[in-house]
Amino acid sequence: MTAFADLLSIKRACDTLGLDAALSRALVNTARPTIWLRHADPVADAALLTGASKVGGEPDLPPGIIWPTRPALADPDGTAKRLRKNLTNGAGADDVVSCVEFVIEHLAYETPMAFLAQVNLSVMAREAGFDPSLPDRGMLWASNDPFADWYGTQSPSGGISLLWSDAGGLERRATPQVVREAWQKGVSDYGSLKSEPWEADVKSEPLFPVSGWSISPRLSQHAYIDLADERFEMKEGGGDQLGGWEEPIQGNMHGEVELISSGKADSELAYAKTVLSAGERWRHVLTINAETYLWRLMPTWGDGAMFIFVDESELEARRFGQAVATSQFT
C-alpha cells in the first residue's frame, strides 16, 4: 500500500523518483487523509465491548436497523439449472451436491447477508487521518452475500450492503439461522461440511487506526509507482482502509464500479473513457482485506481485498444504501 505520514513525504517521494512536475504537484494537491486499520489477533467475539471496530464476529446494531438482505435473484430457475449442470460436469461429491441444493433453495427468496465488519466512526473521527467526507459520528457496517461465489451473479451493489447509523442503544445481534446453516453446509468452503456448530467458534479481529495520507490512483497509471522510500510501514495484519483514495491491487476500478452500479458488470466497456469519467463520482469508503478471519465466510478471496464505494452525492446526504463493491486480487 502507498501510505504516507504527511504531504511532505509525498513530495519527497516524487522528487526522489524524478516524476514529471505536473504529476507530482497533482499527487500532492489531490492527496486525501486516510486511516489504515490494523488487525489485532482474533479473539472471542463475546469478549469485545459493544461498538468496537472489528472484522468478523457478529454486529452491534441499534434496534431500528434490520439485518441486511440480498434480494431474490432475477432468474433463480436459470441459475439453478446452471448450478446443477456444473455439478454434472464436475466432481459432484455428496457434500458438494448437498451444498449446491441448499444454495438453490434460497435463490428465489430474499436472504440474509453475512456480516463482514463494523467501524466506529465516532472513534475514528478523533484520528488525524480521518476522511472529512465521512460522517464523524455513528457506526458503519458492511455485509455481503455469502452465496455469491456459487452462482457468480452480482447484484447492482456488487453483492454487498453498507449501512450507517448514529442511533444509540447498540446491541450485539445474532447471525441469522440461514447464514449459520450455510456455513455448516460448507458454502464458504467448497461444500466441505463443518464438524462443529457456528456458535463454537465466533471470533473477530479488533481494528485499530493508523493515520496517514493517500494518493490518487486515477490521475495516471504512473501513480502506481513504487514509493517505498517514503511509504508508511504497516505491521502484519494491516490492509483494511477507511476513506481516502482507494489502493488498487490490479489497476483503476472506478469504471468497473460504474458498470456494476448499472448492472453491466460483465460489459466489455469496462475501461471506456466515458465509463471511467462517469465513475469519478464514486468515493472510496472502506476496503476489507482478504487476509482476515473472514475465511469462515469468504475463503475464495485469497490474497486480495474488497473495495466499497458510495456516490459522492449520496455520501454527502449520508445515504449508504446504494453502495457498490468490487474485489481485486494479486
For 10-53, write each residue's pLDDT tens digit: 888 888 878 889 888 988 999 999 999 988 888 999 999 999 99
The pTM is what? 0.90
Q: Cell match 462443529: residue? A: 196
Of 40-49, 57-66, 151-160, least confident by mean pLDDT is: 151-160
Per-residue pLDDT at 183: 86
Mean pLDDT of 213-234: 59
Q: For residue 4, is pLDDT > 60?
A: yes
Mean pLDDT of 253-264: 83
Kind of pairing between the strands at 282-289 and 240-242: antiparallel
Of 6-15, 263-272, 282-291, 315-324, least confident by mean pLDDT is: 263-272
More reliable by pLDDT, 263 or 295: 263
Q: For residue 105, is pLDDT > 80?
A: yes
Taking the CB of residue 298, how many other CB atoms lie within 10 A of it?
20
> Residues 321, 322, 323, CA angle at the centre, nearest 5°?
95
The HSE-up count of residue 184 (CA atoms within 13 Å, CB side) is 13
Per-residue pLDDT at 237: 42
The HSE-up count of residue 221 (CA atoms within 13 Å, CB side) is 2
Phi and psi angles of residue 120, each rounded to the nearest 5 degrees, phi first: -85, 100
Q: For residue 297, is pLDDT > 70?
A: no
Q: For residue 223, is pLDDT > 90?
A: no
Mean pLDDT of 287-307: 66
**Exposure string for 82-102, b = 16+ CB within 10 A, e = fewer:** ebeeebeeeeeeeebeebbeb
DSSP annotation of 224: G
Which has the closest alpha carbon to 1: 207, 204, 237? 237
For the CA atoms of 147, 151, 157, 162, what is the dihedral angle to 10 degrees? 10
